[in-house]
Amino acid sequence: MAVTATKPAARPSTATSRTGTAAVTAALVLLVAVLAVVDIAQGTSAVGPAEVFKALTGQADPDDASVVIASRLPRMTAGILVGAVLGTAGAVLQAVSRNVLASPDTLAVNAGSYLALGLVGATGTSLPLFASSGVAFAGGLTAAAVVLGLSGLGTGTVRLVLAGTALMLGLNSMTEGLLLLFPEQTEGLYQWNQGSIGQNGFDGVLQMLPIALIGLAGLLLTARRVDALALGDDAARGLGVPVRATRVTVVVLAALLSAAAVTLAGPIGFVGLCAPALVRPLSRRFRGFARSRTTMPAAALTGAALVLGSDVLLRALVADDLAVAVPTGVVTSLVGAVFLVVMALRLRDTAGAGAPDRLRIPSRSVFVATVAVLVAVLVGLVVAAVLVGDTKLLLGDVVNWAQGRAGRTVSFVLDTRVPRVLAALCAGAALALAGTLVQAVTRNPLAEPSVLGVSGGAALGAVVLVTGAPVTGTWAVAGAAFAGAGVTAVVVFGLAARGGFQQNRLVLVGIGVASATTALISLLIVLTDPFNATKALTWLSGSTYGRTMPDIVPVALALLVGIAVTVARRTELDLVSLDEDTPRLLGLRPARGRLGFLVLSVVLSATAVACAGTIGFVGLVAPHAARALVGRRHVRAVPVAILLGASLVCAADLLGRTVIAPAQLGAGLMTAVIGTPYFLYLLVRSRR
């Protein structure tokens, strides 16, 4: 029998590839031009395309001309400029790190710029736009250097996102603390942080344009070296390319572009992630897009189309008077969050879902001594929290108050202070128990309610109720928080369940959902009463301010039920945390047990958020520290984690309301400052 050889598929010729590349580029240019025309024609004033043309040719009515020249054209130009620089920055960062999730967002560049500008604003210093760009550049570059140093270039897709997300949470918490402490000096900075391309004249665009052109030109000059880095470090060195110097140069130039965009329009989220990802498939069809010199312009055009398209979509779906108040960055963040979830589902997961720690069983005496020390520490913290504050009390005052014999002043102080202390204790214990359950069920040492978006969903549900119906009861807020947490938990765990809750997929999906909830919360705050911004921001910072005894009842009940269930099912929890096969060999149904534990963790997280606001990293730090102290067996780890969580939040709340009294900082801000370094330490340790 004759065998006919199959010819390999012919690759497109150079001429065909060039023609296709030129055609795609022309199509992108046409798309940006169409979106620009539509964007100019949208707005609150009745100025259509005809009036715009007359304004550009000097034939329009003076009022129409002023609207077009002072507002519409600068806004459109800013959208193109911001989208172009962010798309280019994302493309080169992904190329130089060989990481498809690298971008100004995942490298915490925007968060670093936000904190730097917040520090300057808190001092009351008023800087011109060019100087603000320098401050933003310094902050963004520092944050990017920290993330790249911790994650390692090209060593892991998820590691970079985790390091950037953790640092972003910590930096944003510090900035939110500045906003609450210096409301007058930082007025408008929260709205600015949502990202808006609205401009008042061309001054900002003209000042940022030279910086953007310098950054773009510098990146185009390094394009050949970036292409060599794509072959690997050894191959690049063989071609005479200075690997370290090239990476540093590219990161600096990308940070410069991001700083220019942040200064001009605030953080426009996820454009630097989405634009290169949309261009990347073109390189498999057209060889011309396989080179950085052509990929960068394509990513720039795609980024401009994303920003303008988001702005056009926003104004098309929302009434004109409301669209003015909604930042463009909120829309891009929502789109980017969905994009991140889709990419997480498509990425091949290289990290197994192994047991979180090595099996170690310390002696019973070690466990008893640890519990005794933690109980003593917790009692000391509770006593200090009750006695110390803006008004210092004595133990005798507390005794008299408990017996109903205290004076009016002492009664007022303790009536407001004791519920705060109890709220911090219960919320910390509930979050610690929730984190322990989630880490055991998913066998993921980095899983935690706030990282997985569950806390963000609870916060979204509560903020919807707080902003929509300010006068609501305790159980209504708790119910709204549980509904939000339940929806996000179904989305996150449902999407991550394919493949058995693999580590990379679960965390990336959680981060994407958490980003979406953050964008929606920002949207609600912007669209509702301006007074809701401070109220919601205070609540989101994890504050126990104004809590009463009825506010504590839902989380206290959930905590009691959670402890009872965990103690009763401690053996099953141990088995589920090991692997998939062991529970089945012993006749257990791991799927049913996993679902029950996850539902319990959602209830605990939701009631904790309803009681004390958003408090991050407690569900990460407490379980890790507990396992390090007493081992992995949950009969010992659970009580230690609960004591650690309660102590951590109680201490954070005490410090937040006493260190800078009479001003106060939320417990969530304090735990983020504590938890971020610990989270980064875990990443470094796992890298080793």
Per-residue pLDDT of 643-683, as tens digits, reads 999 999 998 888 888 776 666 777 777 787 777 777 777 76
The answer to which of 153-157, 243-247, 683-687 has the lowest mean pLDDT is 153-157
Q: Above 70 in pLDDT, residue 356?
A: no
The answer to which of 5-19, 124-138, 166-180, 310-324 has the lowest mean pLDDT is 5-19
Q: Above 90 in pLDDT, residue 138?
A: no
Average pLDDT on 432-445 reads 84
Average pLDDT over all residues of the chain: 78
One domain, residues 462 and 585: yes
Q: Above 90 in pLDDT, residue 103?
A: no
Q: Is residue 640 part of a domain?
A: yes
462: pLDDT confidence band, cut at 50, 70 and 90?
A: confident
Q: Left (φ > 0), alpha (ψ -120 to 50) or beta: where does 462 sit?
A: alpha
Q: Above 80 in pLDDT, residue 148?
A: no
Task: Residue 63: give its domain's CATH number.
Answer: 1.10.3470.10
The answer to which of 63-72, 330-339, 440-449, 479-488 has the lowest mean pLDDT is 63-72
Q: CB–CB of 353/444 below 8 Å? A: yes
pLDDT of residue 301: 92
Q: Above 60 in pLDDT, residue 530?
A: no
Average pLDDT on 513-539 reads 72
One domain, residues 306 and 390: no
611 Cβ contact list (under 8 Å, min separation 6): 423, 426, 427, 478, 547, 551, 552, 554, 555
553 Cβ contact list (under 8 Å, min separation 6): 474
pLDDT of residue 570: 83
Between 40 and 567, name the one with better pLDDT.
Answer: 567
One domain, residues 439 and 308: no
Q: Is residue 2 part of a domain?
A: no
pLDDT of residue 282: 81
Q: Is residue 505 part of a domain?
A: yes
How many other CB atoms sit within 10 Å of the CB of residue 66? 13
357: pLDDT confidence band, cut at 50, 70 and 90?
A: very low
Distance CA 650, CA 280 (A): 48
Query: Quick one: angle between helices 14-41 and 292-317, nearest 10?
Result: 30
Between 645 and 290, name the one with better pLDDT.
Answer: 645
One domain, residues 325 and 182: yes
Enter the tokens of residue 127: 């800087």
One domain, residues 538 and 475: yes
- The sign of the torsion formed by the CA atoms of 444, 352, 161, 32 equals negative
Average pLDDT on 108-132 reads 79
Between 43 and 387, name the one with better pLDDT.
Answer: 387
Q: Is residue 351 part of a domain?
A: no
Q: Is residue 10 part of a domain?
A: no
Distance CA 273, CA 100 (A): 8
Distance CA 667, CA 674 (A): 11
Average pLDDT on 428-440 reads 90
One domain, residues 453 and 511: yes
The answer to which of 82-91, 129-138, 539-548 has the lowest mean pLDDT is 539-548
Which of 547, 520, 533 lies closest to 612, judged by CA? 547
pLDDT of residue 401: 85
State which of 286, 310, 344 marks the end of a domain.
Answer: 344
Enter the tokens of residue 669: 């801000």
Three-state DSSP string of 548-580 = CHHHHHHHHHHHHHHHHHHHHCHHHHHHHCCCC
Enter the tokens of residue 247: 């990476």
Average pLDDT on 389-404 reads 81
Total structural domains in the chain? Answer: 2
One domain, residues 337 and 391: no
Average pLDDT on 114-143 reads 80
pLDDT in tens, 470-497: 666 767 777 888 888 888 888 887 887 7
Q: Is residue 448 part of a domain?
A: yes
Q: Is residue 654 part of a domain?
A: yes
Between 49 and 31, name the one with better pLDDT.
Answer: 31
Q: Above 50 in pLDDT, residue 4?
A: no
How many percent of the chain have pLDDT more than 90? 9
pLDDT of residue 30: 93
One domain, residues 483 and 337: no
pLDDT of residue 640: 92
Q: What Å distances lie between residue 116 and 126, 202, 438, CA to CA?
A: 13, 25, 35
Q: Above 70 in pLDDT, residue 238?
A: yes
pLDDT of residue 379: 93
Q: How many CA atoms lie within 13 A of 142 on its CB side?
A: 13
Q: What is the DSSP letter of 498?
A: T
197: domain range? Answer: 19-344
Q: Is residue 370 part of a domain?
A: yes
- pTM of this prediction exceeds 0.95: no
Average pLDDT on 370-378 reads 92
Q: Above 70 in pLDDT, residue 499?
A: no
For residues 234, 236, 237 and 241, what is the CA-based torsion angle, rounded to 10 degrees? -160
**Amino acid letter, 684:** V
Q: CB–CB of 179/537 below 8 Å? A: yes
One domain, residues 438 and 314: no
Average pLDDT on 242-254 reads 84
Average pLDDT on 192-211 reads 80
Q: Above 70 in pLDDT, residue 290?
A: yes
One domain, residues 403 and 305: no
Instruction: Calculate ∠ Cα 243-248-249, nearest 5°.
Output: 100
pLDDT of residue 360: 57
One domain, residues 245 and 324: yes
One domain, residues 174 and 121: yes
84: pLDDT confidence band, cut at 50, 70 and 90?
A: very high
